[in-house]
Amino acid sequence: MGNSLSVDGRASIHVFASAKAWIEGSATRQLEEVARRKGVTAVAGMPDLHPGKYGPVGCAILAETVHPAFVGGDIGCGMGLFRLDAEVRKLRVDKAVERLRVLARSWDGDAAACVAAAGLAPTGFDAALGSIGGGNHFCELQAIEEIVDADAAAAAGLDAEAVFVLVHSGSRGLGTSIIEEVLAGGLVALDPAGDEGKLYLDRHDHAVKWAALNRRIIAERAAAAVRAEAVPVVDLPHNLAEVTAGGVLHRKGAAPSDRGLVPVPGSRGTLSYLVQPVGAKPESLASLAHGAGRKLDRRSMHGRAGTTRSELERLARNRFGGIVVCEDRNMLIEEAPDAYKSIEQVIGDLEAFGLARVVATFRPLVTFKSVRERDERSRTRHREKGFVDKRHRGWGEGGAGGGEREGGR
């Protein structure tokens, strides 16, 4: 059982974090505020808990009604892990860095056909499929550092010699458009059986599926860039709501623990973990941490990191010899490893509370985030398809994933 907090007789709160976890008081206060909302029956906080825009990130919330704000704007944002049919020993990191620049360009695939094949209705945002976004979103080539549970790894098809791709992205502008419309008049709680609740859930479910398709296309683009093919290992959203027998379960920066293996990335300078959920503690609301969780907000990172050219150069490398492709100076600083909590502490808490066990760890080879456009013609193509370079306009929460202090880079 997690640490229980008293909230004036309202919904119960269980925080699955030890005294060593870095959790800000403001995040705890946001948990308490959420628990006081009408119709909320239970709240679970994970060790990556930190403050967010509409409420804390790194939590699960059970309620009698649908609260779109609890999901946020990047509906369906999640992590997808894919195995490539390429061997680590044959990968030329320097060449991979150059080839992955293609991810900054708009995808030239048939978006309409992919959307139709996925059983989705077309939207005005489909031209953005295959794009990562900004903020803490990324596409990372990885290699297995250690297999801890050989049986579980074998069952998942993990190959210690293979290259892997981990993608963190979501529904881009599609999710933002939904939340902006739903919350135009302020926070709402919707009856899941009512017309407004059904409409939101239908649009929400579409965005969740769209986000999963987006991650798959990004992984396939990365695989093609290094002359390989991608095979899905696991894909999980961590911003979503679902109607259950016990009520509406909202997850904001919390990975479902009832769907198999869960990727839990650290910062771009640490290992990422693949864990197996264990136990069935009702207080955890079938959820796990979705990453390390931010320790410092983006503004606080300016002046702390990247103050000199040599420091900026160091931020473009990691301790494993990997390379970070991020040509946006602000993003490079704001997403520095020091901005995040200790992933080892987060994983340790998940294990200590009996929520998960480690299956394997992965080291970063190439972390792709952003590159500068090389010519005006390329910028024009981006604008025509709905892309905006961060230097020309601010990123929105759903459009780029940068509006909240999300947890996994």
Which helix (DSSP H) or strand (DSSP E) does residue 63 occupy?
Answer: strand 57-63
**Residue 359 confidence (pLDDT):** 98
- Render pLDDT for 286-340 as a digit per residue (tens, 0 to 9): 999 999 999 988 999 999 888 888 989 999 999 999 999 999 999 999 999 999 9
Residue from 359, 297, 286 nearest 16 by CA: 286
Question: Are residues 80 and 166 in contact, defined by beta-carbon separation less than 8 angstroms?
Answer: yes
Q: CB neighbours of 110 closer than 8 A, spacing ≥ 6?
A: none
pLDDT band of 402, cuts 50, 70, 90: very low
**Residue 68 confidence (pLDDT):** 98
- Render pLDDT for 8-61 as a digit per residue (tens, 0 to 9): 657 999 999 999 998 999 999 999 999 999 899 999 999 999 999 989 999 999
pLDDT of 128 above 80: yes
- What the block records as the tokens of 261 is 């293996």
Given the DSSP bridges, would you call strands 323-326 and 356-370 parallel, antiparallel or unpaired? Answer: parallel
Characterize 144-165 residue by residue with b for buried, 16 or more Cβ atoms within 10 angstroms of its Cβ, and e for exposed.
bbebbbeebbeebebbeebbbb
Query: Average pLDDT, stretch 236-265?
Result: 98
Sole residue written with tokens 């599609």: 174
To the query of whether residue 137 is one of the catalytic residues in this protein, the response is: no
**Residue 409 confidence (pLDDT):** 54
Burial class (CB within 10 angstroms; exposed 0-12, middle 13-18, buried 19+) of 347: buried
Q: How far is CA 16 from CA 93, 278, 342, 408, in A?
A: 38, 14, 15, 18
3-state secondary structure of 318: coil
CA-to-CA distance for 11 and 74, rounded, in angstroms?
26
Q: Which one is predicted more confidently, 74 or 405?
A: 74
Q: Which of 14, 238, 290, 382 is catalytic?
A: 290
Question: Are residues 211 and 175 in contact, defined by beta-carbon separation less than 8 angstroms?
Answer: yes
Provide the strand spans (E) within 170-238. Answer: 230-237
Identity of the amino acid at 404: E
- Render pLDDT for 134-185 as a digit per residue (tens, 0 to 9): 889 999 999 999 999 999 999 999 999 999 999 999 999 999 999 999 999 9
- Rg, C-alpha atoms of the chain: 20
Q: Lowest mean pLDDT: which of 6-15, 84-93, 202-211, 316-325?
A: 6-15
Residue from 330, 336, 396, 313 nearest 128 by CA: 396
Query: Average pLDDT, stretch 268-278?
Result: 96
- What are the sequence ranges of the domains in the chain? 3-388
Domain 3-388 has CATH 3.40.50.150: no
**Residue 400 confidence (pLDDT):** 30
pLDDT of 5 above 90: no
Percent over 70 (pLDDT), the chain: 89
How confident is the prediction for the chain on average, in pLDDT?
90
